[in-house]
């Protein structure tokens, strides 16, 4: 007998509620990666997933709440797909490379059907002040900050020239990723190789150890 089944009688309902929430958000991140956060509507999700509209409103409240929950769900997927595997590499140059390689794979593998969820959503909301833009800017700061910190760790390990501006190098390296993601979606076939080469050359120009 399932141990949890003997606990509070509300547990079953809570579990079913969590499952519904996860089902909705799994679909929402995929829709938003192609059609944007504006493409999310409670009515559409309810129809597609065969859930009552009032039930969804109970879970998510407003459309903006649904959008913010979708951003949190995408952030969790990004953490699992890109950040956690890369953090298993040794701190230093190996981790910088692992982060960038994992990002390229996350985009080219189409973890989201519309490529990088955040590139799509950030361009959609960057010029529209509010809670959605703020939530996306936080994710962007976290990501750029993580690359910069990893570069600083590589500097501390004597693998990257200590005179290099880590934030500037992080800016450059990330730029190649976003460009490859967009141009691949637009139909160019050579852009992931280009981005990988740009990153390799850029890192080689600042590393103090042989490749």
Tokens, residue 90: 């040794």
Distance CA(115)–CA(40), nearest Å, equals: 17
Does residue 114 bind a second copy (CB under 8 A)? yes
Decide if 19 contacts 46 (C-beta within 8 A).
Answer: no
Does residue 205 bind a second copy (CB under 8 A)? yes
Q: Which long-range contacts (CB under 8 A, 24 or more apart) does 79-84 make?
A: 81/106, 81/111, 82/106, 83/146
Nearer to a second copy, 6 or 127 (CB): 127
Length of the chain in terms of residues written: 211
Q: Is the dihedral of CA 173, 150, 111, 125 positive or negative?
A: negative
Does residue 90 bind a second copy (CB under 8 A)? no
Distance CA(152)–CA(17), nearest Å, equals: 43
Does residue 32 bind a second copy (CB under 8 A)? no
Does residue 34 bind a second copy (CB under 8 A)? yes
Nearer to a second copy, 61 or 113 (CB): 113
Site for a second copy in 125-154 (CB under 8 A): 126-128, 133, 136-137, 140
CB of residue 207 to a second copy, shortest distance in Å: 15
CA distances from 189 to 19, 55, 81, 148 (A): 38, 43, 23, 29
**Binding segment (CB under 8 A) for a second copy, from list 20-28, 49-57, 65-73, 195-203:** 195-203
Complete DSSP assignment for 61-84: -SHHHHHHHHHHHHHHHHIIIIIH
Nearer to a second copy, 32 or 45 (CB): 32
Count of residues that bind a second copy according to CB under 8 A:
40
For a second copy, the binding residues (CB under 8 A) are 33-36, 38, 113-115, 119-120, 122-124, 126-128, 133, 136-137, 140, 167-168, 171-172, 174-176, 178-179, 182-183, 185-187, 191, 194-195, 197-198, 205
């Amino acid at each position: 007998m399932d141990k949890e089944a003997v606990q509070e009688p509300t547990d079953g309902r809570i579990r079913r509620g969590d499952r519904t929430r996860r089902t909705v958000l799994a679909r929402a991140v995929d829709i938003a990666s192609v059609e944007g956060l504006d493409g999310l509507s409670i009515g559409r999700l309810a129809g597609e997933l065969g859930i009552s509209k009032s039930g969804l409103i109970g879970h998510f409240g407003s459309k903006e709440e649904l959008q913010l929950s979708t951003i949190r769900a995408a952030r969790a997927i990004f953490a699992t797909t890109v950040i956690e595997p890369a953090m298993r590499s040794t701190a230093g140059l190996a981790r910088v490379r692992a982060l960038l390689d994992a990002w390229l794979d996350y985009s080219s593998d189409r973890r989201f059907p519309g490529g990088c969820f955040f590139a799509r959503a950030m361009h959609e909301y960057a010029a529209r002040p509010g809670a959605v833009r703020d939530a996306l800017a936080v994710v962007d700061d976290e990501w750029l900050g993580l690359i910069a910190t990893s570069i600083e760790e590589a500097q501390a390990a004597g693998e990257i020239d200590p005179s290099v501006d880590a934030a500037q190098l992080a800016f450059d390296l990330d730029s190649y990723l976003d460009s490859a993601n967009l141009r691949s979606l637009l139909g160019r076939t050579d852009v992931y190789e280009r981005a990988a080469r740009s990153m390799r050359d850029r890192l080689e120009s600042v590393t103090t150890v042989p490749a």
